[in-house]
Amino acid sequence: MNEMEGRAGEAVGRGDQLTDEQLMAAFAGGAGGASADAFQALFHRYRQPVYGFFRRRVADAAQAEELAQETFLAVLKARGRYEATALFRSYLYGIAFRVLKAHRRKALLRAMFTGKMPERGQPADAGVETGLVSGLVLRDAVGRLERMDREMVLLREYEELSYAEIAAVLGIPVNTVRSRLFRARMALRAVLTSPVENVMEMRSAEEHA
């Protein structure tokens, strides 16, 4: 090991003191133990957030875990093509979003062959519930948003990404993120203002449709 690799290894060993971007640079450009340690530090830092990203979008916990692992595997495979043009978490969630889209395409194809179509929307994380009724209404309201708006709300409120990061993940202008998030929040607020009455009205309308 040369002197540069030795310093890199020592720095990665102090992973908690390094930024995501420094760790990714060490992983993408390093070799041997230093590179492996950098990837391990990133995995440890983002394993739970990435799992949460998928858990809020797919119904099965085991499936969410598989998709999270697939995301990190994609990061591993793409290390030679990595360019530090944005924050690492924008890069990571961008990969996660592409993995999610691929999963949805496969699920739709399977549904076409089996005749069982996937349910519209996915529930928000159960941890946001403050009560049974409010939790049901929140999941229902989020699920009724257009898919792109739903993704923006989840990325903003749960993954806590900035407008610029959301724009990078979804590949759309920042102004579009601002306007669509505002519209989505107004739609959610209208439903959540009176949760009991709204959920009963929605269920009654569906029953008589």
- Mean pLDDT, consecutive 10-residue stretches, the chain (209 aa), reads 45 67 87 80 95 91 94 90 86 94 80 55 41 57 83 86 91 92 84 53 48
Q: How many CB atoms lie within 10 A of CB 100?
A: 19
Report field, pTM of the whole predicted structure over 0.75:
no
pLDDT tens figures, 39-85: 999 999 999 999 999 999 888 899 999 999 999 999 998 888 888 88
Angle, helices 195-207 vs 174-192, to 10°: value is: 90
φ and ψ at residue 194, rounded to 5 degrees: -135, 80
Residue 160, phi-psi category: left (phi > 0), alpha (psi -120 to 50), beta (remainder): left
Domain ranges of the chain: 1-118, 123-209
Q: Does domain 123-209 have CATH number 1.10.275.10?
A: no
CATH number of 1-118: 1.10.1740.10
* CB-CB contact of 195 with 133 (8 Å): yes
Residue 95, phi-psi category: left (phi > 0), alpha (psi -120 to 50), beta (remainder): alpha
Helix (H, G, I), strand (E, B) or coil at 137: helix
